Structure 1
Amino acid sequence: MIVISTAAALIGGVIVALLLVGATFALFVGLRAAAAAGSAVRANRRFEALFAAAPAIPVLAYGDGRIELTRTVADWLGLKELPGRIDELASVLPADVLGALKNDILAAHRAARGFTRAVTVPGSSRTLMWRGERAPHEIGIGAVIIWVFDATDSQREIEQLSAQQGDMRGAFEALTGLIEAAPLPMWYRGADLKLAMVNSAYVAAVEGANAADVVGRGVELVEGSGHGGPLAGAVEAREQGKPHERLLPATIGGERRSLKLFDIPLPTGGVAGYAIDIEDLEQAHARERRFAEAQRTMLDRLSAGVAQFGRDRALVFCNQPFRRMFAMRNEWLADRPEFDRVLERMREANRVPEVRDFPSWKAERRDWFTEAVSAFEENWMLPDSTHLRVLAQPLPDGGLLLIFEDRTEQVQLASARDTLLRVRTATFDNLFEALGVFAADGKLQLWNNRFRAVWELEEEFLSSHPRVDVVSEQVASKLAHPARAKIINELVRAATMERQTRGGRFELADGRHFEFGVVPLPDGNALFTMLDITDSRRIEQALRERNEALENTDRVKTAFVANMSYELRTPLTSISGFAEMLHGGYAGKLTKQADAYVEA
């Protein structure tokens, strides 16, 4: 039997433990190295995929003639095997191209000077762009990195653009010739809005020697400065990004002319412009306007109604008698209504004869525009017994002139008066305010339903046109203070006799409140108005009561806080004093825990 001492067993256990720890550490280091190697492999594969998908492929060249390139570049060059030296490219590149490429590589290697060179592979339409520069030391000492990418499409686009440039140059020369031959002054301003080009018409208008002289001296076609100056239109056009036109005077050939200037902003930042002489056109328009104004002034003085329609059958003019005759509002006429709409508005106003088939009747009147007859004349008997003589005269420009002569003036005036009274009565009766009109002698002339309802007066009483003092006696019982009824007499007298405007407030016996006023009218009468303000008074009273309640609540709160502050301060003072005495040892020495409580 073998006996192992305790010390030997302990030493053996320590050795086994050390071996176990060493094996564990070695396993950990091996696993971490394996993970790092796997990450490096994945990163390497990722970079290889990125290089394969990149539009530019790197090539490394050295000063001693060595070269490293990928299979993709070799395929672009038409090489079956990867070359190891740059001289091996002589089989696919011309000698002059290869020599220039070797010089570029040598200059980049020695002087760190980058280069760019386009290389066309013989026998192929492919164009390769080589861009090289000295490579960082991490890539290789003395190496030059060259990025090669296929520029075939770019080269083709350059050729297309060159062809387009030639076409545009030809078009520009043709446009320049057209501008030069144009009879209108034309010009071009650069981005600084200074003249950069003018045509022959511009030079002739400003009496310049030639285009270069005019541009050099900056001679403008029109005079002025600031907002009305020659640059104002160009500035406005460029700021708004759209053509701008304006009318300005100019002196051309010693004569004052009116020019319509057009400024067109260009994408380049400049502004092109041209001018049209409209002096003759303006003079013709002025003569036409003066003639038309004289004609319309004369037509306005006629007692007959006149309406003129243009070739588009829209109303272009009507005089005041026409507006009054057919009750046409100015705001409605300002929209230039068409002939059919005017007839329809006349029908709505009962100012056309009563017919069974109005659409057919309207179509017959529409034929007045196209008939070759010199004039049409007919009589209209309106529903209100008004007799109108209608004269329709076709105009040379395709328009139509209508003249309406009222032969029943007295009947029309009476009808207008009755209509006015009905409108006034309807307006009075539908107002929310209570209204009453008192004559200069104090009698009640007009009133509305609201006036009768507020004072609860009988219609028979009001129809007798009572005096103001009788009305005040009748309504005194309806007031909360009957004695205040006399104020109605005083206010009406002040408005009719002294022409003064006054007002005040009434409180009725049923609790309603009214605001009243008496206004003198131009005809010597007085207008008495009453407005119900009961709701506003109630709201005002409710707000006033709420404000008082808030003030009372604030006073109670203030008193409560003051009392609570006093009640809390007294016991807290006593507690603080006893705590200081205990801490000072007046009650004997305290334990550490008790002393901590006292300090707290």
Structure 2
Amino acid sequence: MAAGPAQAAPYLATGEIVTVSMLLGVLSAAVVSTLWTVRLRGRTETTNRDLKAHLADARHTVSRLHALIGDKNRRIVVWDGLSQKPEFLGELPPETGAPAADRDFLAFGRWMTPASAGAIERAIETLRAQAQSFDLIVETARGEVLEAQGRVSGGQAFVRFIALNNLRAEAAELKLERDRLVAALATLQNLLDQIDLPVWQRDAGGKLSWVNAAYAQAVEAADAARAVSEGRELLPTIAREKIRSASTYDTPFRDKVSTVIRGNRGFLDVVDAKSPTGSAGIAIDVSDAEAVREELARTLKSHAETLDHLATPVAIFDGEQRLQFYNQAFQQVWGLETAFLETKPGNGELFDRLRAAGKLPEQLNWRQWKENALSVYRAIDTQTDLWHLPNGQTLRVFATARPQGGATWVFENLTEKVALEARYNTLVQVQDETIDHLAEGVAVFSPDGRIRLSNPAFRALWGITEDEAKPGTHIRAIEQACAASYDKPDGWKRFAHIITSFDDERPSCQGVLELRTGLVLDFAVIPLSNAQTMLTFVNITDSVRVSRALTEKNEALRKADALKNDFVQHVSYELRSPLTNIIGFAELLKTPTMGDLTERQAEYVDHIATSSAVLLTIVNDILDLATVDAGIMELDYSEINLTDLVDDVALQFSDRLQEGRLTLEIVAPDALGTIVADPQRLKQILVKLLSNAANFAPEGSSIRLACRREGTDFVFTVSDAGPGIPQDVLKTVFGRFESHGRHSGAGLGLSIVESFVSLHNGTVTIDSREGEGTDVTCRIPTAAMPAVAAAE
């Protein structure tokens, strides 16, 4: 029993120890935990007190910032990262025009100017994408100025819009104005650099401070900066001193200055304006205008001299209807005093003076007639009228309004023309009466085969009516109408071939026709002038009627030939006057004073002048031949220096040589001496021969003129390297209307040469070889000076 308790005591003691230990551990943990909790609680209270203090400070700061932001003079837009939804703080004054609603504020284009809206949108885009700050001055649609500041902070982008106070707004406005002025100045300088007029700017000391590119080119500088740095002056010293002394703030300097431009002497129209900080000038190159003005003065003088030598009266009035120019023909036709004309009377005053002198046509209503005549100054087209003067003259009046104001009056004297027309009409009537009363049948056909006229005898012989042979009827219709009387092939078909043939030679032919009616007709086909053809038919049924018909025919032919010569002579003289007027007016149209012509109009005027000159030459040739044929041509003998004559002909023929790309080779001794002959006719001989050689000579070849003296005779030979003339043609080269060159003409040249050489008692020969060229040699003997010329 005693052993049991003794053994159990250690066991209990160990269990108690474990329990006590565990309790002690728990108690220790509880104590430690309690101590940590107390300490943590202290720390938490301290932290809470600090946080409350910081929160109070933050709330105070936020309140202060809100109070600051809440100012009505600024508004802030904040973007958090890349968020598209911004936050808006503050507001702007209503007078700025900025919308109060957040959703409308970023629509800058609605309340800012286009330039400012574009600038702020680009700046915000760059701020948010690249974190690039900016400071801008923007302008609202109401004209108010705002300052915009863009910044990035803590991952946020914000833009602050500030409504500026008076001083800052004024400074911002001045900055905007400065920017506008700088841009405008840059634009203006860029514009001035692009124009071709030299422009410069000087400082208060008169030194160049800026020039444009045209100025640099004018002074031959590398560029504008070099021209300024080197001080290259465009104007001479005298001109600059004159500008400095004459220019004022109110009156700029304006004058024309002579200077060197790009190395050449020229004229500049200079304008130089003075300012408080210096001066600025611009120059216009008027060198071409000065040259044109001088050329215009020379042209006007030449124009006046040309008009003064015209046989046609001309008078020019200015915009105030006062006389500015008149030629001698005008003064002579109206018999006006020079002293009166030099007072430059008005057009109406001139009419009144002429009416008072009884020189104008009598009018029932003078005032109305005068107003109609003076209406040309308001008219667009040329006015034409016929004036039958009390002295028996007939004038055709052309009145044309001038483009620059005023009018030109041209008076064409038709007195001789009217008389010639009356005589011509009388001759035609006599011709018609003569032909109508001829016993032989006569019919005249035009080159196209249409009948021009026929007499009753022609219609009676062929048994056709007047309607079947009316003018304009074709020869084929005549042939069908006459077929009942005669239808053999050698009849009307032969006539039609001869009449409509294009052969250069139009020989006449004759023969006998026997009609089915029993009549025997003697016919003749006779070529007339103007390529017309006359058919004559004579009834030779019995010998008596044949004799009578032949007599009448010969008389009719003689009258027709005389009428033809008279007709050619009168018509040729009649053509010369209007041709001279056409040539004169064509030259007048080409002068600048008559107005500018288009390229096509100028070409047409040149064609008119050239064709008129050619036609005038042909008319003169026909007149010369008609004068020779009539035996009334007289030579005007004088002593001629042959060397001068040859030189004059060569100069006159130079244009024709250039046209055919030919050269003229003159072979003559240094001194040909003199000869007594008609200089005008001798010159015509040389020109006609050279023109004939030019027609045959190939392009690029040479024409040779060899001159020599054989005793007292003057011998010259014109040679060409053309194809030569066939032997059968040589027999007819001196015939009239013969033309074989490539430049077809009237064919009168060699005929005139032969006639004029014969009048000088000389000789002309032709030596031509086919394929080798042609030589024409003339021998002109010297003549004795007329007694009158010798006395003089």
The normalised TM-score by structure 1 is 0.46
The normalised TM-score by structure 2 is 0.36
Q: Which of structures 1 and 2 has the bigger CA Rg? A: 2
